[in-house]
Amino acid sequence: MSEKKRGCLRKLLLPAFIGVLLVWLVVEHFFNVNSNLVAVAVRESRQPLQILSKRGEWKPATGLTPGDFAAALIERHEEPGMRWSTLKVRRPGGFLANAAQRVFGAELHVVTLSPERFDFMTTFQPKFTLTTARERMDDGNLWFSITANFRDPKGRPMGWVYHEGKQVNPPFGDWSGCFFVKDGRPWFGPKSLLNDVPGLIQEGSQVYPSVMKNHTIFSYVEMKPDEYFDGTRVSYRALGGMRQDGTIVFVLSGDGGVMNVGEVTEIARKLDVQHATLLDGGRALQYSIRTDDGPWHFHAANTELPIQYKLLERQRSPIYIGVRRKAPLIVSGTGK
């Protein structure tokens, strides 16, 4: 090939490369395509999720001690009362699964929040208009927002919702998990906590399923995971829990970090969670975190484009859990 032809080819290839790159970035922005390529590649694997330890070894969650977990957490953001950390994960599988994880990686996120410094609430639009975690964060000046209740095909929340001391949506069936606030303190776990904790519900939502109470994982999580919920399915998961000292802990799928119910529950147990419940996950999962560099957003699927095709349709939810920093106490005094 002559030098002139090679020069023409280079001039053609460069714009083509830039065009492909721009298209990929747009698709990634709206559809989280890198994460979903990993999710699709590993979803049929029955190998346990592995976590990268501080020593650089890949081990299943059951093979790590609580101390190992603490050491494996990679800090992303910390401020008084709030910490956001990441766990690097992988799931052994076939050639495509291993290749996708090698190229794009996979991770989980752990967010801890102190009720001493943050208020917890349900947050939603009038008439439960479908919305996003990003919109709830912007509208409410929140530090953290995440999907809460499941929703029916018409977009209505499935399960009771309380806001500012009033029940604004009725119960759904006998679902076992819940988030609620009583006497200003947030709780996550099974519905039995509603009776164990005195007082009236100020904020709250019914979710499903609960997975742990008093550091004990419920037997159906391991013995009958598919009888009441799709427990063995490898999917985007979100767990809300609390430690004995009241610290709230969220264990969340990040890019490519898909899990089954047993795995997300075991990780929470190793992180010293006392009570826990799952929140809405799968394609509906989305959450936003406020940091020093500005808000950071995760969405499992498209949340913006009104596409009718089922696999690409817009995923929005009616009810979110919101977390807002408490106003500083102003101590008044008298001067001379």
pLDDT of 235 over the 70 cut: yes
Dist CA 179 CA 278 (whole Å): 10
Q: Is residue 97 part of a domain?
A: yes
Checking if the pLDDT of 100 tops 80, the result is yes
How confident is residue 71, by pLDDT bands cut at 50, 70 and 90? very high
Q: How many CB atoms lie within 10 A of CB 282?
A: 18
pLDDT band at 146 (very low <50, low <70, confident <90, very high): very high
In a domain, 40, yes or no: yes
Categorize the per-residue pLDDT at 258 as very low, low, confident or very high, splitting at 50, 70 and 90.
very high
In a domain, 5, yes or no: no
Residue 214 has pLDDT above 50, yes or no: yes
DSSP 60-124: EGGG--HHHHHHH-EEEEEETTEEEEEEEEE---SHHHHHHHHHH--EEEEEEE-TTTEEEEEE-
Residues 241, 189 contacting (CB under 8 angstroms): yes
336 — pLDDT class (breaks 50, 70, 90): very low
Q: How far is CA 65 from CA 176, 216, 240, in A?
A: 29, 16, 21
Statement: residue 102 has pLDDT above 90: yes
Looking at 270-274, 276-280, 286-290, 327-331, which range is the least confident one?
327-331
Alpha helices (H) along 169-218: 192-196
Whole-model pTM? 0.93
Q: Is 20 inside a domain boundary? A: no
Whether 235 maps to a domain, the answer reads yes
How many domains does the chain fold into? 1
- Specify if 257 maps to a domain: yes
Domain membership of residue 321 as a residue range = 32-325
Q: Which of 134, 138, 124 is nearest to 169 (CA)?
A: 124
Q: What is the mean pLDDT of residues 130-134?
A: 98
In-domain check, residue 266: yes
The rounded percent of the chain whose pLDDT value lies above 90 is 80
Q: What single string gives the DSSP state of each residue in 310-329?
A: GGGS---BS-EEEEEEPPPP
- The pLDDT value recorded for residue 6 is 61
- 48 part of a folded domain: yes
Give, as one character, the DSSP assignment of residue 128: G
Tell me what pLDDT residue 24 has: 77
What confidence category does residue 14 fall into, taking pLDDT thresholds of 50, 70 and 90? low
**Alpha carbon distance 162, 201 (integer Å):** 7
Cα separation values, 226 from 61, 108, 214, 223, 265, Å: 21, 23, 23, 9, 15
Query: What is each CA distance from 139 to 19, 126, 316, 324, in whole angstroms?
Result: 35, 12, 16, 11
